A = this chain, B = another copy of it.
Amino acid sequence: MTDPAVALDHAFDRDTEVEAVSEHRSTLTISDRWNALGDRVNGGYLMAVCLAALRREVPLPDPLVVSAFFLRPAAAGPVEIATELVRPGRRIATGEAQLRQGGKEIVRLVASFTDFAATPDGRRLELGAKPELPPPDACVDPIAGRSPLRRPGIANQVEWRAVEPPGWVLKRPGGDPTLTMWMRWRDGRPTDVASLPLFVDALPPPVLDLGETGSSTVELTVHVRGVPAPGWVAGRSTTRHVGGGYHEEDFEIWDETGGLVAQSRQLAILL
């Protein structure tokens, strides 16, 4: 849930602020500030745009589970998002968004929403392990040496802190496709639930440390598992299975109190 008082002070809120055209149609101009490596529009940003449009349609505020199929690359410029309320519900409500550009569908996304403020905590069991990272102040900006022009645009929006730069940044791919980094909004925006579907796609793909040059997402599913505590969040991204030209990428986000707040998996094509 975005705090309305701060909403328009931040790039994320400005660049996902859709305009209502009709009950089930919104428009927006895709910004060029959210490019991933290779200057392609970041998939997490496109998901956030779809979710912003869906929030007009769905009677609950917070994304719970989101699945996005990336059908074609997007470019900066105008898009239209058609939305549908698939199933209203008091605890969970589901909708679909179709993001189109130049008449072609770019993303099809289905999402269930809930209200975390009304969710009882219930039984809690954590068998996962939070990322082992020194405090953010004891970490380094892994791309600190790169000029803003040689950084992907998304790195100007999301700040990273790691124990050391990944091997591929130093042109020595380390062979271990796992990245663990602190993350936060560079402009001071709080990391809320709405940030998480973007954050799970806001680190470089760990397959770069296999010497690959990049990958392109076919589908990404994210589960939001809780409301992040104030501060940094720790992202851990890993690939375990490469074959047939595809790889999976698993991403977890843990908050500073050591709670898991999001989990995602994507299937991607090696470039």
Contact = CB atoms under 8 A, between A and B. Distances in A.
Given A87-B105, A112-B218, A219-B221, A243 B122 contact: yes
Contacts of A119: 244-245
B128 A241 contact: yes
A120 B245 CA distance: 7
Interface residues of A, number: 48
A96 interface: yes
Main secondary structure of the interface of A (DSSP, over half): strand
Total copies of the chain: 2
A122 B245 contact: yes
A204 B123 CA distance: 20
Q: Which 6 pairs, one residue from A and one from B, show the smallest C-beta to C-beta distance?
A: A67-B67, A125-B242, A127-B240, A71-B87, A221-B221, A128-B240
A177 B270 CA distance: 33
Given A69-B112, A243-B260, 4 more contacts: A92-B218, A112-B219, A123-B270, A127-B240
A75 interface: no
A210 interface: yes
A267 B108 contact: no
A81 to B, nearest CB: 15
B87 A72 contact: yes
Contacts of A225: 241, 243-244, 246, 248
Interface in A43-102: 64-65, 67, 69, 71-72, 86-87, 92, 94, 96
B125 A210 contact: yes
A94 to B, nearest CB: 6
